[in-house]
Amino acid sequence: MKHIIGILLTVFTLGAFAQKQKQETPVVQFTGIVHNADSAKIIVPYVSIANVSSHKQVSPTNYKGYFSFVAHERDTIKFTCVGYSPEIVVIPANVTSKSYTLQVMLKPRIINLPMFRVFPWATTEEFTKDFLSMKIADDELEIARKNLNLSSILSLERTLPRDGTESNAQDMTNSIINSHSITNPLLNPFAWGALIRQISDGDKSRANDN
């Protein structure tokens, strides 16, 4: 029992001493901006800042990487962010004007993940079956061949309306065909026979009148 009481008194004494020493440490306004170590022009936003010396104190940077909070001299500050290696900063002692400004540089951390393959088939036999029955899409040459097929052209001709140029060309073609279909009567022997009969009938009628 005496040993337990002695341990408790020792812990209480050390805690009180540390708290007193902490209170006697000067307060500093710690301000700064977090940048990318590979390119100082790149700002790292929303970085988590933890005061290791004071476990309850955690604060983030804003969307411009800016931070400003109250700490003590010789406090250990830890900066962490996803995709970057952690950065430890110790506030120095005897800070003038009770303000400490720092440009924190976080180094990007690249993690190479192991290769991961996803197979939707449970067995090799299922993959072979699906692969052999798979319908491959037509390439550009096959698409052009189908579009230039006579049946495709006739189908498009029946369904698609004609534009002005096509309608004008069709009208000219019809007029030419109709003009050639009219025969010259001078080249028709039946017309000549009818003309001769009309002349003969006319002469006979005039003779009868006389």
> Do the beta carbons of residue 121 and residue 130 sit within 8 Å?
yes
Structure-token match 């003590």, residue found: 72
Q: For position 30, what pLDDT does the model report?
A: 94
Nearest to 53 by CA among 87, 81, 19: 19
The range of the structural domain enclosing residue 51 comes to 24-134
Residue 187 lies in a domain: no
Q: For position 96, what pLDDT does the model report?
A: 83
Residue 112 lies in a domain: yes
Q: Is 98 left (phi over 0), alpha (psi -120 to 50) or beta?
A: left
CATH number for the domain that contains residue 111: 2.60.40.1120
Residue 209 lies in a domain: no
Residue type (1 letter), 1: M
Structure-token match 């430890």, residue found: 88
Residue 97 lies in a domain: yes
CB neighbourhood size of 137 (10 A): 6
Residue 51 lies in a domain: yes
The percent of residues in the chain predicted with pLDDT above 70, rounded, is: 75
Nearest to 47 by CA among 78, 75, 91: 78
**Alpha-carbon distance 31 to 134, whole Å?**
63
Residue 171 lies in a domain: no
Residue 155 lies in a domain: no
Residue 72 lies in a domain: yes
Tens of pLDDT, residue by residue, the chain (210 residues): 555 555 544 544 445 444 544 456 789 999 999 999 998 889 999 999 999 988 778 889 999 999 999 999 999 999 999 999 999 999 998 888 889 999 999 999 988 888 877 778 888 888 888 888 888 778 888 888 888 888 888 887 778 777 777 777 777 776 666 655 555 666 666 677 777 777 777 655 555 555
> Do the beta carbons of residue 32 and residue 103 sit within 8 Å?
yes
**Alpha-carbon distance 30 to 72, whole Å?**
9
Q: ∠87-89-91 over CA atoms, to 5°?
A: 170
CB neighbourhood size of 106 (10 A): 22
**Alpha-carbon distance 111 to 113, whole Å?**
6
Domain count, the chain: 1
Q: For position 197, what pLDDT does the model report?
A: 78
